[in-house]
Structure 1
């Protein structure tokens, strides 16, 4: 039985928002108790920015992966790209667990560098497969680039 394209999109979105739920669970208490007490750079965004930003990014990354999935039979290397998408979802959730759950900015920094490398690799692969998918991925890579700098600054300051 073949999966219908719109059902596949829903599954990509559910996977992304499952990651969001895992990250939210790891983050919830630390955002109230620990994060406000640590030193942060002056360019740290206000807390209200993170929810809308991540919601948008999860939607965009899901659509990008779904576009590759829809054309997977015609695209050489699409299976690897989709596996890398799964890897980045795991790494995305793991960062929240390390940074907020374990309250360990140093370990989270090492992990986010790995996440960034996977995202950059995906960026190149997505542009090769589908220009729209590649364009949809740009904000995610940009946000994680910023988050990496923020994570590094927090680690340095604390």
Structure 2
């Protein structure tokens, strides 16, 4: 419960909205981008370290929730007088890039372009993590698993792209 409090206060409505917005946005984006693409994806050669399809919704729901909580903490710190000149804009940019990747990779089959975009995404996540950490150490720490997962996804993207040229 302390994780949800900022400066000893909990705004349960705002924390719920903060967590649910990226989860719902990611779910809608994933549904639209992946609709009618799974048969094609199943036929692709994939690396041996590719997780089962059931791992992706679990991982992304968890990560979206953690990043939403991190953003909530940074926004609350701002209300208490902490400055965050670029933390929220970089968060919004990385979230948009995150959503775009699904369309590039799945919907449009542009795996090479998706790889370049994901490299930019990873850099933007790292920047956001740093900026969040300077405002709230817990918020920055909540973003670290996201960096790890996207770095792993970058390897998957690259390897799948190479195997299916």
TM-score scaled by structure 2?
0.86
Residue of structure 2 in register with 1:18 after alignment: 25
User: How far has the Cα of 1:39 moved from its partner?
Assistant: 1.0
Q: 1:75 aligns with which of 66, 74, 82?
A: 82
Residue of structure 2 in register with 1:29 after alignment: 36
- Structure 1, gaps ≥5 residues long: none
- Structure 2 contact 26–64 (Cα < 8 Å) conserved: no
Q: Which moved more, 1:42-51 or 1:9-18?
A: 9-18
Kindly indicate whether residue 151 of structure 2 is the aligned counterpart of residue 151 of structure 1. Answer: no
**Rounded Cα–Cα distance in structure 2 between residues aligned with 1:27 and 1:79:** 35
- Structure 2 contact 20–65 (Cα < 8 Å) conserved: no
After the TM superposition, which residues 3-152 of structure 1 pair with which residues of structure 2 at under 5 Å, given as runs?
Answer: 5-16=11-22, 17-31=24-38, 33-73=39-79, 74-76=81-83, 78-152=84-158
SS of match in other structure, 1:39: coil
Residues 80-138 of structure 1 deviation map (CA, whole Å, 9 limit, x = unaligned): 11111111111111000000010111111011011001001111112211111111111
User: How far has the Cα of 1:8 moved from its partner?
Assistant: 2.9
User: How far has the Cα of 1:9 moved from its partner?
Assistant: 2.5
**RMSD between aligned residues:** 1.5
- Structure 2, gaps ≥5 residues long: 1-9
- Structure 2 contact 104–114 (Cα < 8 Å) conserved: yes
- Structure 2 contact 19–66 (Cα < 8 Å) conserved: no
SS of match in other structure, 1:47: coil
**Rounded Cα–Cα distance in structure 2 between residues aligned with 1:6 and 1:82:** 20
- Structure 1 contact 126–134 (Cα < 8 Å) conserved: yes
**Rounded Cα–Cα distance in structure 1 between residues aligned with 2:26 and 2:52:** 22
Pick the structure with more helix per residue.
Answer: 1
Runs of 4+ in 1 over 6 A off after TM superposition: none
**Rounded Cα–Cα distance in structure 2 between residues aligned with 1:148 and 1:127:** 23
